[in-house]
Amino acid sequence: MHFVILGAGRVGTTLATILDERGHSVALIDQNPDAFRRLPSTFSGRRVTGVGFDRDTLRQAGIEDAYAFAAVSSGDNSNIIAARVVRELFKVDRVVARIYDPSRAEVYEKLGIPTVATVRRTTEAVLNWMMPPDAHIVWSHATGDVSLIKARPVESWYGLTLDLVERLVSRRVVFISRQGHLDVAKPDMVLQENDELYFGVSGGSGIEIREILTRDPAVEE
């Protein structure tokens, strides 16, 4: 997958490095070519010097092939303009903007662009917005017999009850994380956008859960 990041500050270079190390294609944009010095020598992605909301700069970064875009430069206005250009002109669905002024966040959310406030969330939150659904171990018993797998389903699962999700996945949903709050899962809860599910499993692999949740649910008519 290809990812484009605006801003070669600490957050931007950290994001770019993580994605590069995971084997993804990455392009990092910044007006200051000296900013790229923060990248490790092992970084194999593109370094693009230019204005982040300039169409030619974005095309040079491969925005037309991007799975996701993150605007994490030091300027709120640059971030939101770039995010809107990428969303509206290049039709990239997965876009997130870093906002230094939390009071602006609500306005930008209404435009359909998720925002991340610097104090409230950091690199991890931006990465969660950019990455496709996944499943990984967040806790495992010392014996390895039982594990807790955190997973995020694709959009086609939204609207299903947790009872139905459990039957389709053949795993028990123990907890659900919604809007920053972790609650005990109840069968009649309805899955919503950005919900994260915690499954209790025997053993320690989330591969099967990930494979199921990244496909459309096999719901019988």
The pLDDT assigned to 127 comes to 64
Number of domains in the chain: 2
As a whole number of angstroms, the distance between CA 155 and CA 169 comes to 16
Q: Do 38 and 145 reside in the same domain of the chain?
A: no
> What pLDDT does 90 receive?
96
102 and 174 in a single domain? The answer is no
Residue 199's domain spans which residues? Answer: 135-213
**For position 181, which CATH number holds?**
3.30.70.1450
Q: What local confidence, expressed as pLDDT, does residue 120 receive?
A: 43
CA-to-CA dists, residue 183 to 135, 159, 174, 189, 196, angstroms: 18, 18, 9, 11, 11
168 assigned to some structural domain:
yes
Residue 63 has what pLDDT?
97
Residues 99, 61 share a domain: yes
pLDDT score of 132: 61
- Other beta carbons within 10 angstroms of residue 26's beta carbon come to 26
pLDDT at 171 (0 to 100): 92
Per-residue tokens: 96: 């997130």
pLDDT of residue 50: 96
On whether both 90 and 167 belong to a single domain, the answer is: no
Residue 218, in any domain of the structure: no
CATH classification of the domain holding 99: 3.40.50.720
Instruction: Judge if 139 and 126 occupy the same domain.
Output: no
Residues 63 and 109 in one domain: yes
Phi, psi of 54 (to 5 degrees): -80, 130
**In the numeric block, which tokens belong to residue 115?**
């925002």
pTM: 0.58
Profile the chain (221 residues) by mean pLDDT over runs of 10 residues: 94 92 94 95 96 96 96 90 94 87 68 62 60 71 81 90 94 90 93 91 78 81 49
Instruction: Supply the pLDDT for residue 187.
Output: 94
pLDDT value of residue 119 = 43
